[in-house]
Structures are given as structure tokens and as C-alpha cells.
Structure 1
């Protein structure tokens, strides 16, 4: 088991910054309007069924937790950002899903060893800054023989390229923090889990995104709603030229990925990882 990350000092400040970033904008709108089916894909890939004890790590507003509960599992949804959990409670209630919502740090989960049959995360745990610490916790709370399942954006796919596009405009990351899209690299994620897992399944897939009728519509939606993008714009807000340059770069990224150049459909690549915990 990995030592718990110190919640004081520099790391505590970093976690507070992450909480604040994901509370910016309206991430639940991104999950519900842009990638509504992604969590259900992960739940199906993990074989979640009635009576399973499931933990959704960095659950946000429940994109995976709610489908898991509707499949009959007993689900705990954990996230660092309480504002997202509060939205998730409302969404679950409207869909008739029974989910337990817990505020928790993915790098120091408040659960017992081997407590869950399935531990999953849908484009969530990849944003924890210390990758090995987060992977160690996923393994620790999964029972021997249980399933670990992840959906992570790839570095080469649209979202990975969006982070690369925003990087020149963002403040430098804190020392020791690793880039989120690394979790979408098969070599990296295999290295994080090592020989602690078996029956590893890794495949690249894509989700079709047809929410936006133009590149600028994509840019404006993410500029207003996606926490990391909102944060980058805030970082350059005092420089009109840099704001305009970032506007241009994000629109051009979307334009390149829209089929036929101007059509509204994009394919966003992700890595689907499933494995069983050894033990």
C-alpha cells in the first residue's frame, strides 16, 4: 500500500487548487451533454452486475456511478470536489439510482483494503496529480480477484491534444505533478499497476461527439464550462492578445477534428483499461 499523501503544506494547497478548478464552470453539463454514454461503456466493460460492491473514484457527478447503480450494484461515488457530488445526488435521484456520495482524495481513499469488488474511474482519476499514488489506492481498495476499470483520454486523441494546446497558456504545473493524458498511454498505465494485476485488457476506442455545430461553439462551451479550460483562460485574462490566441488555437483544434473540416462530428479517443487484482 502506498503511503498516504500528506494533506498539509504544498500538497494540501495543490489539492485545494484542484478542488477549486473542478468547481469552475459546469462540469456536469460537459458529462451530460458531451460524453453522456462514456460511463455506461466502462460499467459494461467491467461486467458490473447486481450485488457487486463498486467504487467510482473521481466520480464527478456520477457519469459511471449512476449506470453502475442502475445495473444493480451497491455504489459509492467519491470525488474531491463537493460541488460535483451535490449535482450527482440530484441526477441520481431523478434517475432512481441509489448511490452513496463521499468526498475523498483519489490519492488517499478513506476505504478499507479490499473493500470493493469493482473499482473504476471514467476520465477522473487521470487528473490526480501523483499517478503512482492514485494507482496504488485503486489496487488497495479492490479485493483480490476484483476488477479495476478505467477510461482515460489518450495523449494523441482530441482531449489530450486540447491539453497540449492549452499548456503554453497555463502556469507551470507544481513540482511532481504529472500530465493527466499520460494515463491514456498503455505503457504508462501498465507500469503503474505492474504485476499487481492480471487479465489485463487494453484497447483504444473513441466516443462520438456531435454536441457542437461549429469549432467556435466547441471553444465557447468549454471556455465557459470545463474547469481546466476556464482556469487557463483566467490565467491569461489580463492579456487580450493571449486570450485571442487561445481562442484561435482551440477553435483550430476543433476544426481539424471535425469530420470534413466544418461538419459537427468529432471522434474523441480514449484508452479502456480493465484488469483483475492479483492476490
Structure 2
């Protein structure tokens, strides 16, 4: 006798795992202590201005949403993980930023078509498992003539290489899931968005990271704060040798990228596009 899994049930289970993974550790610490520059860079590239209706997809704790609100936009920050939104809500209040926080799946956004002037995501939507479904939603909720803006880690950059280093130790991905760093490949993003957008610009940039004095400090910080890294170590917790090997891989990765004094450059792809005026 064979059994089949209902696709809707499988998707709910997958999203529950993603939600739980990003609630591990302290991702807001990564956002504020390591990659804080990325949010304002994306807001600037999207040309966010007062009065714009802005949606930040997979917003996490709001490292792009809050700067957009402070620029005068009317912002909705959406994310699959409510724990991250809770942190973002408190941080926004402290910064004097007013915005709406919504629990939402990047692959099935609960918003009307063409609702937003700007739809953006800062190293967030790239982690949704089904890339085409995510891209379709980004385009759908953006108004004709509106702006779509994305920052994603590249496959060849530091975070892309970190995921490559962790892959042999990680749980097998579910069927149909695609690697997050593919969003950092310009050809992949252009194919996902297709002819529904125009005026596409794609620029590779470097984020200078100076948070870690040593490779070991990087490893220990990510073991304690970054959901995917925590989950990978947990998957190998019963095998001390694999834990030791993964420890070593992460230290070696940071050592290879060390520019001196602990400084590293992490490559990302910044994409902006304008939704065409008709489908």
C-alpha cells in the first residue's frame, strides 16, 4: 500500500520548518551588527520617497522597512516568522518609525495585485524555497510602473560560499526547493522576472564586514545567531566528528576571506526593475 502526501500539507510543513529555523538564535543581531548597511542601500536604490506605498517582503526585523518608513513612505513589513516582526516592531518604535507588520508567506502574499509603489526584499525573499512562485508574487503586488528592488547574496560571495560549505552537513532540501544564493545570479533573476519588468539594473557590490576580530569569532557568532547555521549544527549534534568538521569549515571560510584584522568583503547583487504597464 502506498501513501501520498497532500501538496498543501507538505507546503505547510515546509513553511513551518522555515518559520522555526529563522526564529532560532538572534537574527536581529545579524541585521543590526553585521549587515545594517544593506537596508538603507536598498531603500536608496529603490528611490523610496514620502508617500510611497512600500512592501518589504521577508522583512525580518525590518532592516530595510524601518529606513523606508523613516524616509516618509507608508510601509508594510511582511515576514513568515512572527518572532522577527516582534523585534522589528519594538525597534521601529524606538526609532520613531510608524509602519505595519504582517505575518506573510513570500510565495503567497496576502495583498491585492498592484497595491504597492515599491516592492523590495533585503536578503530575505531569496530564502523562500520556490523561486518562481516568489518572483511571481513580487511582480503581482507591484503596481504597473512601480519598482521592484532586491538585495541577495551571490553564489561566489562569502555567504554563498558559507552555504556551499554547510551543504554536506545540512539536512537534504525538500523536493523542488532551490538554493537561496541563486537569487544572487543576475541571469537567474532576469529569468524569474521575465518580460513583466523593464529597466532592469543589476550591480554586484561588496559589504565590508568588520564585526569579527578572528575567524573563530565569526563562527561562534553565526553558531549562536543565524538560523540556518544553528539548524545545520543541530542536524549533526549526535556526531561530534561532523560538528568538529563543520566548525573547521566555517573557520577556514572566514580565514580565506580575511583582508586583515578580521575585515571581510561579502558580495551581494543589487537588482532594481520597473514593472511594465501591462501584463
Give the TM-score band, short-chain normalised.
over 0.9
Q: How many angstroms apart in 1 are the aligned matches of 2:7 and 2:137?
A: 15
Aligned pair count reads 272
Matched position secondary structure for 1:233: helix
> Quick one: distance in 2 between partners of 1:46 and 1:78?
18
Q: Which residue of 2 aligns with 1:135?
A: 135
1:65-99 C-alpha deviation (Å, 9 max, x unpaired): 00000000000000000000000000000000011
Measured after TM superposition, the shift of residue 199 of structure 1 is 0.5
1:273 maps to what in 2?
A: 271
The 5-angstrom pairing of residues 221-260 of structure 1 reads 221-260=221-260
SS of match in other structure, 1:8: helix
Cα RMSD (Å): 0.9
Q: Which residue of 2 aligns with 1:15?
A: 15
Moved over 4 A (4+): none
Structure 2, unpaired ranges of 5+: 1-5
In the alignment, structure 1 residue 33 sits paired with structure 2 residue 33 = yes
C-alpha distance in structure 1 between counterparts of 2:216 and 2:11, whole Å: 36
Partner of 1:75: helix, strand, or coil?
strand
CA distance in 2 between counterparts of 1:111 and 1:15 reads: 19
**In 2, distance between residues paired with 1:206 and 1:243?**
30
Which whole-Å CA distance do the structure 2 matches of 1:82 and 1:101 have between them? 9
Q: Residues 181-260 of structure 1 correspond to what in structure 2 (within 5 A)?
A: 181-260=181-260
User: What residue number does 2:60 align with?
Assistant: 60
Between the aligned partners of 2:238 and 2:26, the Cα distance in structure 1 is: 23
Secondary structure of the structure 1 residue equivalent to 2:49: coil
What aligned pairs does 1:105-116 form with structure 2 within 5 A after superposition? 105-116=105-116
Distance between the aligned counterparts of 1:272 and 1:81, measured in 2?
24
Shift of 1:37: 1.1
* Pairing of 1:154-193 with structure 2 (within 5 A): 154-193=154-193
Structure 1 residues not aligned, in runs of 5+: 1-5
1:61-140 alignment, distance < 5 Å: 61-140=61-140
Shift of 1:253: 0.1
